[in-house]
Amino acid sequence: MATESEISDGDQLDRELAELLEVERFEPPPEFRERALLKDPAVYEQASRDPLGWWTRQAEDLHWFSRWDTVLDDSDPPFYKWFVGGTLNVSYNCLDRHVEEGRGERVAFHWRGEDGQERDITYADLLAEVQRFANALKDLGVRKGDVVGIYLPMIPEVVVSMLACARIGAPHNVVFGGFSAEAVRERMEFSQAKLLITVDGAARKGTTAPVKDRVDEVMGGLPSLEKIVVVRSKGTACEMQQGRDVFYDEIVAAADPHCPAEALDAEHPLYILYTSGSTAKPKGILHTTGGYLTGVSATHRYVFDLKPETDVYWCAADVGWVTGHSYIVYGPLSNGATSVMWEGAPDYPHKGIWWEIIERYRVSILYCAPTAIRACIKWGSQWPRKHDLSSLRLLGSVGEPINPKAWLWYHKVIGGERCPIVDTWWQTETGAIMITPLPGITATKPGSATFPFPGVFAEVLDESTGEPLPEGQGLLVLTRPWPSMLRTLYKEEDRFIETYFSRFGRETYLVGDAARRDKDGYFWVIGRIDDVVNVSGHRLSTAEVESAIVAHVDVAEAAVIGQHDEDTGQAIVAFVTLQGTLEGDESTIEGIRGTVADRIGKFARPKRIIWADDLPKTRSGKIMRRLLRDIAEGRALGDVTTLRDPAVMGELEQRVSELQAQED
């Protein structure tokens, strides 16, 4: 129960936040601006006058074995190539370069285990381990171009694995640890992975979840998959299949310690990362080497105003998402940053663990998702207030729109009103941050990602005419290629063109988000226009969840929508029709949620299941999700004239209001 002083503190805080709500713009604090890497607004103008010159300068900050001949080959849009003819290696840029230049003893990661265990890993340590593991992968038959799956929790070996793949030119395919083994299998199958790196067990708020055993249950019979490497992290017993499975520590110990980094073509594939699209089949986003590293390195340095000698940087995402790839691994390491890596959840062993970690390592830059901030608001400001957060100087937000209230709380309670907030808009597809403030230059408005990063060209187009809107709401597009853009959808070229480059032609990238520009030209990203739902910053497709639900034996049909949710941004709501005369009850609900957890992962389980005798369909049998969204949001129904049976809607409205009454 809250004490009296906490209650009055809460009231006072609410009053102060209400006052801040009146502030239209937050200028960069003068002390921050003075020391910022970028403080002259002319950078925007220079980059837009000569984008290729700007990106060239960013690429020149990296180490290249041989320089490119052409910065951008745009002769066959949308198949763009960057830094054509150049060769480099991502792991060399992230490791060797720092060690050779005398930064080997710098800590790359302060790793902290869920149980409080601590490990400081220097750049020299990482380089040594990566070389050995790269050789071990070669010993297991992995060759340049072979796909390697990685299904690991937030342990240092996940970084080692990614860099070892990059070192030998084997594209990795990381699957977020919250996905189920089924989802891993599917992604290994689509990408024809040759080897999978996984773990015995993973920490889950005080218990250990078996991982290898789950993987074994589903991974048989994949012809491409030859080997499984198992990291012994928790000492969980697991069976090892002779001839297929090996322990990470054993092969690393046996491997040659010296593995020079391969000089790879700038367009050599670095990784595939599966993400949700409009259909049930996830999209394999393909990123390559030179352009990607240029994009993540430059954005990481300038958006976070990184001073690698003094900053301690913490991106509190999971490496399994693109945020982790670009801003836990490749951006920070290429810039020689010292980062924090936390194995666990934000509320275990207590709800103040993040703030304890910030105090412990004197974190100066924090990058996290609005969902986490909203959870912290709910838990109360007494948690952060117990800790010294004075080391923080910059805050970042990513993954979903941040509502002004959460922005202001972050600004006041965490940032002590002295830290600029960078609300960064981007996607798995864009590889790097695209729309964001520059913290020493841009005046921010809570809830707006502000302006495109220098060298990035965004517009909001009128939905019907396709004309750019200087002010108003429409479809967000990127109108010129950028170095870290996806190159294709793995093995699905037609889908790549169809999804991103068909609506406005082959030179205009359709983002899939609606956005608004205000009178000052600020961008406000509103949310997806397709059937992608964003639950706590986790991207899911409604079709993917539907296909998991209908796998349950009792289910005849399902329609899934995203409903606005105060805590998670959006929540999954499923309208479900059962087989024949079956009646749904609590155990059916649990069964369906369990099926979704098995097929996709626990984070995809529907928050609400609404039984429907029938679903609203057009005469041709297409489910009208738009009407289901109207019902769920309590809005007046849109156009119902194309419905086959309008009576369906009345029944569903009734069900939804009954369910809401129960929940209240």
Neighbouring residues of 529: CB distance < 8 A, sequence distance ≥ 6: 475, 512, 513, 514
- Cβ proximity to ligand WTA, 362 vs 516, nearer residue: 516
CB of 555 to ligand WTA, least distance (A): 28
- Interface residue with ligand WTA among 180, 364, 424, 542 (CB under 6 A) is 424
- Cβ proximity to ligand WTA, 28 vs 431, nearer residue: 431
CB of 330 to ligand WTA, least distance (A): 14
- Cβ proximity to ligand WTA, 227 vs 625, nearer residue: 625
CB of 513 to ligand WTA, least distance (A): 5
Stretch of residues binding ligand WTA (CB under 6 A), selected from 112-120, 184-192, 316-324, 547-555 = 316-324
Do 137 and 168 touch, CB atoms closer than 8 A? yes
Do 356 and 266 touch, CB atoms closer than 8 A? no
Q: What is the CA radius of gyration of the chain?
A: 25
Stretch of residues binding ligand WTA (CB under 6 A), selected from 101-109, 294-302, 426-434, 437-445 = 426-434
β-pairing verdict for 569-578 and 555-565: antiparallel
528 binds ligand WTA (CB under 6 A): yes
**Binding residues among 340-399 for ligand WTA as defined by CB under 6 A:** 398-399
Total residues interacting with ligand WTA, rule: CB under 6 A? 22
- Interface residue with ligand WTA among 525, 533, 610, 623 (CB under 6 A) is 525
113: number of Cβ within 10 Å: 17
Stretch of residues binding ligand WTA (CB under 6 A), selected from 91-99, 240-248, 522-530, 578-586 = 522-530
- Contacts for 354-359: CB closer than 8 Å, 24+ residues apart: 354/316, 355/383, 355/384, 355/386, 355/387, 355/389, 356/387, 357/112, 357/314, 358/314, 358/387, 358/389, 358/391, 358/392, 359/387, 359/388, 359/389, 359/391
Angle of helix 586-599 relative to helix 542-549, nearest 10 degrees, comes to 120
478 binds ligand WTA (CB under 6 A): no
- Interface residue with ligand WTA among 125, 182, 305, 423 (CB under 6 A) is 423
CB of 370 to ligand WTA, least distance (A): 8
- 278 closest CA partner among 475, 533, 598: 533
48, burial (CB in 10 Å: exposed 0-12, middle 13-18, buried 19+):
middle
Q: Identity (one letter) of the amino acid at 108?
A: A
426 binds ligand WTA (CB under 6 A): yes
428 binds ligand WTA (CB under 6 A): yes
Do 446 and 437 touch, CB atoms closer than 8 A? no
- Interface residue with ligand WTA among 287, 539, 599, 625 (CB under 6 A) is 539
311 binds ligand WTA (CB under 6 A): no
Site string for ligand WTA, 435-454 (x = CB under 6 A): --------------x-----
> CA 567 to CA 405: how far, in whole Å?
12
Q: Which residue has the tokens 């009345």?
A: 650
- Cβ proximity to ligand WTA, 252 vs 285, nearer residue: 285
- Interface residue with ligand WTA among 107, 211, 322, 489 (CB under 6 A) is 322
CB of 547 to ligand WTA, least distance (A): 20
Structural tokens at position 315: 């991106």
CB of 125 to ligand WTA, least distance (A): 29
DSSP for 181-192 reads HHHHHHHHHHHT
- Cβ proximity to ligand WTA, 294 vs 323, nearer residue: 323
**What is the three-state SS of 579-616?**
CCCCCCCHHHHHHHHHHHHHHCEHHHCCCEEEECCCCC
CB of 475 to ligand WTA, least distance (A): 12
- 477 closest CA partner among 523, 537, 522, 441: 523
- Interface residue with ligand WTA among 289, 444, 534, 541 (CB under 6 A) is 534
Angle of helix 181-191 relative to helix 586-599, nearest 10 degrees, comes to 30
Site string for ligand WTA, 494-513 (x = CB under 6 A): ------------------xx
- Cβ proximity to ligand WTA, 126 vs 322, nearer residue: 322
Stretch of residues binding ligand WTA (CB under 6 A), selected from 192-200, 287-295, 320-328, 380-388 = 320-328
Question: By Cβ distance, which residue is nearest to ligand WTA?
Answer: 428
- Interface residue with ligand WTA among 125, 186, 400, 546 (CB under 6 A) is 400
CB of 483 to ligand WTA, least distance (A): 17
- Cα separations in angstroms, 461 against 352, 486, 513, 516: 43, 22, 11, 9
Neighbouring residues of 377: CB distance < 8 A, sequence distance ≥ 6: 405, 406, 409
CB of 321 to ligand WTA, least distance (A): 6
CB of 305 to ligand WTA, least distance (A): 18
425 binds ligand WTA (CB under 6 A): yes
- Cβ proximity to ligand WTA, 234 vs 528, nearer residue: 528
604 binds ligand WTA (CB under 6 A): no
- 373 closest CA partner among 539, 179, 537, 204: 537
- 81 closest CA partner among 322, 292, 297: 292
> CA 417 to CA 408: how far, in whole Å?
9
**Binding residues among 265-284 for ligand WTA as defined by CB under 6 A:** 275
- Cβ proximity to ligand WTA, 25 vs 144, nearer residue: 25
Do 614 and 575 touch, CB atoms closer than 8 A? no
> CA 160 to CA 162: how far, in whole Å?
6
Alpha helices in 501-585, H assignment, sequence order: 542-549
Structural tokens at position 590: 């649990």
- Cα separations in angstroms, 84 against 74, 157, 482: 11, 32, 14
Stretch of residues binding ligand WTA (CB under 6 A), selected from 35-43, 72-80, 195-203, 421-429 = 421-429
Stretch of residues binding ligand WTA (CB under 6 A), selected from 123-131, 301-309, 423-431, 483-491 = 423-431
Tell me which residues touch ligand WTA (CB under 6 A).
275, 321-323, 398-401, 423-428, 449, 512-513, 525, 527-528, 534, 539
